[in-house]
């Protein structure tokens, strides 16, 4: 374990020093004065992601920006260059498949949707160290937008009371899961994965389901419709049925694993009638294979 000295002087979070494009909109800016983070230092090895536990002031920040036709690597490279120019030594620099694809993504800490989006086949990851500071960078795209996550850990000074109470400060407005659902009326459960033609839900953990379950269980009158969406491979009727089965799989998981009452959940299938990306590309089809939670009137 790489431990940071609690008596060290506080250092500004590295994420604040990186220059993002002016059109980047910050979604998350959450800082804990004393916490731990498992920093990935190697790719998925077949059973886990080798990591190093680091302790200190942990800052988790995400951004969304419109990038048009820019690739994930183009967005990633400019930030990587800044990190290297600041004297960081890169420990790990990999792309989706080389990192370990699905396995790496779900063994690595990621801010939950809708504040971070990761396309399993289109992301880049970097971890780096400079003296007793570390950071990780994760970039992915949901065309025409790119999402950026930076987690940084720096030496910190906290009072004993802060440690006992687990004080956490939010340094900027964070549109959380519940706020997004209540404001927009729907939210994509963005960390679920469905292959073409499949309705089986992976083992998880799926943080969006935990967030949705927590929100529903706070008030037994709250209800959502789980709507399954597909890519455009195959006939419409079959895709509507597939979307319905995917929504049912999510409903079962929410009920059995998270204890959400069945009368708070409805399901429907939309097939390929409401795409959020182009079905002309494999990345777009992957994005369209999704389940959304749609707000229903309170009973």
Average pLDDT over the chain, rounded to an integer: 84
The pLDDT value given to residue 22: 77
96: containing domain: 14-174
- Note whether 205 and 161 are same-domain residues: no
Q: Is the dihedral of CA 190, 195, 196, 197 positive or negative?
A: negative
Q: What is the tens place of the pLDDT at every residue in 163-202?
A: 444 444 444 333 456 777 887 788 888 778 766 677 888 7
The pLDDT value given to residue 289: 85
- Note whether 141 and 190 are same-domain residues: no
Q: Per the structure, how many domains does the chain have?
A: 2
pLDDT over 80 at 203, yes or no: no
Going by pLDDT thresholds of 50, 70 and 90, the confidence category of residue 3 is: very low
The pLDDT value given to residue 153: 95
Is this prediction's pTM over 0.75? no
Longest dimension (CA), the chain: 64
Going by pLDDT thresholds of 50, 70 and 90, the confidence category of residue 42 is: very high
The pLDDT value given to residue 157: 60
- CATH number of the domain bearing residue 97: 3.40.1000
The pLDDT value given to residue 155: 85
- CATH number of the domain bearing residue 221: 3.30.1330.60
Note whether residue 7 is domain-resident.
no
- Note whether 104 and 126 are same-domain residues: yes
- Note whether 157 and 187 are same-domain residues: no
The pLDDT value given to residue 79: 95
CA distances from 124 to 66, 163, 241, 285 (A): 17, 34, 34, 19
Q: What is the tens place of the pLDDT at every residue in 80-99?
A: 999 999 999 999 999 999 99
pLDDT over 60 at 264, yes or no: yes
- Note whether 226 and 182 are same-domain residues: yes
pLDDT over 50 at 281, yes or no: yes
pLDDT over 60 at 102, yes or no: yes
Overall average pLDDT of the 266-290 stretch: 86
* Residue scoring higher pLDDT (288 or 140): 140
Q: Which residues pair with 229 in a beta bridge?
A: 271, 290
Note whether residue 6 is domain-resident.
no
CA distances from 249 to 106, 203, 245, 261 (A): 19, 12, 6, 15
Locate 44 and state its tokens: 């998925």
SS (H, E, C) the chain: CECCCCCCCCCCCHHHHCCCCCCCEEEEEEEEEEEEEEEECCCCCCCCCCEEEEEEEEEEEEEEEECCCCCHHHHHHHHHHHHHHCCCEEEEEEEHHHHCHHHHHHHCCCCCCCCCCCECCEEEEEEEEECCEEEEEEEEEECCEEEEEEEEEECCCCCHHHHHHCCCEECCCCCCHHHHHHHHCEEECCCCCCCCCCCCCCCCCCHHHHHHHHHHHCCCCCEEEEEEECCCCCCHHHHHHHHHHHHHHHHHHHHHHHCCCHHHEEEEEEECCCCCCCCCCHHHHHHHCEEEEEEECCC
Share of the chain above pLDDT 90, in %: 56
Note whether residue 5 is domain-resident.
no
Q: What is the tens place of the pLDDT at every residue in 138-167?
A: 999 988 889 999 999 998 765 444 444 444
Among the three residues 149, 174, 199, which one is the final residue of a domain in this structure? 174
């Amino acid at each position: 374990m790489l431990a940071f000295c609690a008596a060290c002087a506080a250092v500004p979070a590295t994420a604040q020093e990186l220059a993002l494009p002016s059109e980047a909109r910050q979604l998350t800016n959450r800082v804990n004065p004393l916490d731990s983070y498992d920093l990935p230092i190697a790719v998925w090895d077949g059973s886990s992601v080798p990591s190093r536990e680091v302790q200190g002031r942990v800052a988790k920040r995400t951004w969304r920006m419109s990038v048009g036709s820019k690739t994930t690597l183009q967005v990633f490279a400019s930030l990587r260059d800044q990190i290297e120019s600041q004297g960081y030594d890169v420990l790990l620099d990999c792309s989706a498949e080389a990192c370990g694809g699905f396995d790496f993504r779900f063994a690595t800490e990621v801010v939950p949707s809708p504040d971070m989006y990761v396309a399993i086949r289109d992301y880049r990851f970097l971890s780096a160290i400079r003296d007793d500071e570390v950071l990780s960078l994760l970039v992915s795209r949901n065309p025409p937008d790119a999402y950026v996550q930076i987690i940084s850990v720096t030496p910190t000074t906290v009072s004993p009371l802060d440690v006992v109470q687990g004080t956490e400060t939010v340094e900027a407005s964070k549109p959380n899961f519940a706020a997004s659902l209540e404001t927009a009326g729907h939210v994509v459960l963005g960390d679920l994965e469905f292959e073409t033609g499949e309705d089986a839900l992976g083992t998880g953990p799926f943080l969006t389901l935990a967030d949705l379950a927590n929100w529903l269980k706070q008030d037994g009158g709250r209800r959502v419709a789980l709507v399954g969406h597909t890519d455009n491979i195959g006939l419409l009727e079959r895709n509507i049925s597939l979307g319905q089965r995917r929504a049912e799989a999510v409903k079962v998981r929410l009920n059995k694993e998270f204890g959400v009452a069945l009368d708070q959940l409805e399901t429907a299938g939309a097939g390929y009638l409401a795409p959020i990306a182009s079905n002309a590309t494999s990345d777009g089809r992957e994005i369209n294979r999704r389940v959304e939670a749609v707000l229903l009137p309170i009973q």
